[in-house]
Amino acid sequence: MNKNRDESSKRAQEPGGSVASDATTVDPDDDFRLVALAQQGDLHAYDALVTRHRGRIFAMIRNMIHQEADAWDLSQEVFIKAWHALPRFEAKAKFSTWLYRIAHNTVYDWARKRKIESAGEFNDEIFERERIDSASFTTPSGGESPDATMANGELRVKIQIALGKLSAEHREVVLLKDVQGLSYKEIAEAMSSTLGTVMSRLFYARQKLQALLKDEYETR
Amino acid sequence: MNMKPDETTLALWLDDELTGAELASVEAWAATQPEQLAAREEIRHWRETVTANLAASVEPPYPDFFNNRVLQSIRERPPAASLPDKKSFSWKTWLMPAAACAGMALTFWAGMNTQAVPEYDVAGAPRAIPVDPVVYTPENGVNAEWFTSSEASATVIVLNGITAIPDTMDFSQTVYVPMDREIDSTAGGNIHQ
């Protein structure tokens, strides 16, 4: 057991080791192994878990609140909360789904505090920001021509603006389903909701997005 | 078995979440449902568009610093050992409220049994109650007497020794009335110096 633990810790510390830094390629079994080590107090294993999942959690929160600095802080808070709650994690769900649930609660707590602090003054702007800082969100992927980059950048901004016009619940369900690729069941777990509610929210959110991006659809 | 699936199954099929026999069953039904096939294509197209434009994973700025801060915070903060186990049963959960109730009852009983009953033989007359030493009067030399009448449902406090208020006193001067320019101190242009 100790040998296994040492090996996992060693792997976790390797910068270019076999433990991927992006959850798109991670094996859930690796997660469970690292979680088991972290539950015994192994900080190296937890460091590896943070590295594996920080990208998705940060992207999710940033797309929810549209503020990079706050998203950075909140993402850290998610991992700190997750560490303290780790003894209660029973591996019934994926570790990533559990993290999304903590992220969901963290973002809503943050929004609630902001609402109280501003006494509702900026209520609509906490989640429903229409002005997107295109510079920070439109990182072009490599290999695109300048024209394609510009076109994709514009579409990116339009999608973000359209998402910004949705309610927080509708936006979250779209982000979890269509961007993060979670199943309905996983979304229901992450949002502490029912399958029917998730389906209904996603249906109406997509309809609204389609209406908001009507021009984009018609030009295709 | 080309039966229409229920709403949940249909939603799962539209989002490509079905597998195996369930998928085959809905596919067979959908083969004759062009609008459902079009809806699924539209969802697939939307997903492709979104995933091409919004990254599912974005490294936070200064990722090493990000991890270090998380780990530092974990080291600094004690583990959540203070969180109570909801399932645990403790004698405190029932004994403490019971002890509090017993204490309150005992205090009430002691109060009822130790309170001195006032003895007055002038029935119906206003009773003069000696002023408690804790009642403070505004000035030295001023005495306070407290009369109460249960018949009149009235209580009168008489202060002896206070200087009479002169008839010439203008009470309006005791009230602070702000001047106009004090009310809007930000209207600098209207202030005459």
CB B66 within 8 A of CB A71: no
Provide the pLDDT confidence category of residue B178 given band limits of 50, 70 and 90: low
Is A130 a domain residue?
Answer: no
State pTM to two decimals: 0.62
Which residues in A lie closer than 8 A to residue B55 (C-beta atoms)?
59, 139, 179
Residue B79 near residue A84, CB atoms below 8 Å: yes
Residues in chain A closer than 8 A to B12 (CB atoms): 184
Sheet with strand B127-129: strands edge to edge: B127-129, B143-149, B154-160
Check B51 against A178: CB less than 8 A apart: yes
* A79 and A111 co-located in one domain: yes
Residues A22 and A114 in one domain: yes
Contact B11 A199 (CB under 8 A): yes
Are residues A195 and A108 part of one domain?
no
Q: Is B100 exposed, middle or buried (0-12, 13-18, 19+ CB in 10 A)?
A: exposed
Residue owning tokens 């109460």: B148
Task: Check whether A76 has a pLDDT greater than 50.
Answer: yes
How far, in Å, CA of B12 to CA of A193, rounded? Answer: 17
Per CB-CB distance under 8 Å, the chain A contacts of B56 are 24, 56, 59, 179-181
Contact between B67 and A23 using a beta-carbon 8 Å cutoff: no
Q: A128-167: string of b/e by CB count within 10 Å (b at 16+)? A: ebeebeeeebbeeeeeeeeeeeeebbebbbbbbbbbbebe
What percent of chain A is modeled with pLDDT above 70? Answer: 70
User: Which residues in chain B are closer than 8 Å to A73, comparing Cβ atoms?
Assistant: none
Helix (H) or strand (E) holding A70: helix A68-85
Residues A43 and A149 in one domain: no
Q: Give the C-alpha separation, A100 to A182, whole Å.
A: 10
Which domain-ending residue is among A91, A123, A155? A123
Report CA torsion sign: B164, B167, B169, B170. positive
Asked if residue A149 and residue A59 are part of one domain, the reply reads no
Q: Answer yes or no: is A136 within a domain.
A: no
Give, in degrees to the nearest 5, the angle at Cα A47 between A35 and A180: 70
Closest CA to A55 of A88, A11, A12, A25: A25
Q: What does the block give as tokens for A75? A: 């993402």
**Between β-strands B127-129 and B154-160, what pairing exists: parallel, antiparallel or unpaired?**
unpaired
A60 shares its domain with A8:
yes
Q: For position B156, what pLDDT does the model report? A: 78
pLDDT confidence band for B127 (50 / 70 / 90)? low
Question: What is the rounded CA–CA span in Å between residue B39 and residue B44?
Answer: 9
ipTM: 0.77
Searching chain B, which residue's CA lies closest to the CA of residue A44? B71
Q: How many angstroms away from the CA of B65 is the closest CA of chain A? A: 11
Per the model's pLDDT, the better-predicted residue between B79 and B21 turns out to be B21
User: A170 and A115: one domain?
Assistant: no
CA-only gyration radius of chain A, Å: 19
Question: How many domains are there within chain A?
Answer: 2
Gap between the Cα atoms of B9 and B28, Å rounded? 13
| Domain annotation covers residue A38 | yes
Q: Tell me the shortest Cα–Cα distance from B59 to chain A, in angstroms.
A: 4
The band of A125, judged by pLDDT with boundaries at 50, 70 and 90, is low
Q: Is residue A128 part of a domain?
A: no
On chain B, the residues whose CB falls within 8 A of the CB of A174 are 50
Pairwise CA distance, residues B185 & B167, whole Å: 37
SS (H, E, C) chain B: CCCCCCHHHHHHHHCCCCCHHHHHHHHHHHCCCHHHHHHHHHHHHHHHHHHHHCCCCCCCCCHHHHHHHHHHHHHHCCCCCCCCCCCCCCHHHHHHHHHHHHHHHHHHHHHHHHCCCCCCCCCCCCEEECCCCCCCCCCCCCEEEEEEECCCCEEEEEEECCCCCCCCCCHHHHCCCCCHHHHCCCCHHHCCC
> Do A115 and A74 belong to one domain?
yes
Mean local confidence (pLDDT), A4-16: 39
* Structure-model confidence comparison of residues B135 and A198, the more confident one: A198
Residue A138 lies in a domain: no
Question: d(Cα A47, Cα B191) in Å, to the nearest integer?
Answer: 65
Q: Are the beta carbons of A52 and A21 closer than 8 angstroms? A: yes
User: Which residues of B lie closer than 8 Å to A, measured between beta carbons?
Assistant: 7-8, 11-12, 15, 17, 42-43, 46-47, 49-61, 63, 66-67, 69-71, 73-75, 77, 79-80
Q: Domain check: are A103 and A57 in the same one?
A: yes
Query: For residue A41, is pLDDT > 80?
Result: yes
The answer to whether residue A214 sits within a structural domain is yes
Please state the rounded mean pLDDT for residues A3-32.
50
pLDDT (tens digit per residue) in B28-39: 999 999 999 999
- In this structure, the answer to whether residues A158 and A50 fall within a common structural domain is no
Task: State whether B66 and A54 contact (CB < 8 Å).
Answer: yes
CATH of the domain at A158: 1.10.10.10
Which of B17, B51, B67 is opposite residue A51, by nearest beta carbon? B67
Q: Please give the residue of chain A at the shortest CA–CA distance from B61.
A: A72
Q: Say which of B15, B47, B70 has its CB closest to residue A76.
A: B70
For residue A103, being part of any structural domain is answered with: yes
Residue A81: other Cβ atoms inside 10 A: 17
Asked if A51 and A89 sit in the same domain, the reply is yes
Least trusted range by pLDDT, from A27-41, A48-62, A135-149, B36-50 = A135-149
Decide which of A123, A154, A186 is a domain's last residue. A123
| Residue A22 resides in a domain | yes
Q: pLDDT, tens digit, for every residue of A94-124?
A: 999 999 999 999 999 999 998 887 765 545 5
User: What local confidence, expressed as pLDDT, does residue A211 receive?
Assistant: 92
Q: Which domain holds residue A173?
A: 143-220
Does B126 have pLDDT greater than 80?
Answer: no
Contact residues on chain B for A184, CB-CB shorter than 8 A: 11-12, 15, 17
pLDDT band at B92, cuts 50/70/90?
Answer: low
Same domain, residue pair A104 and A210: no
When pLDDT is averaged across residues B104-133 and rounded to a whole number, the result is 66
When the pLDDT of each residue in chain A is averaged and rounded to a whole number, the result is 80
CATH code, A92: 1.10.1740.10
Residue reference for tokens 């029917």: A196
Q: List C-alpha distances in Å: B158 to A75, B123, B146.
A: 69, 22, 6
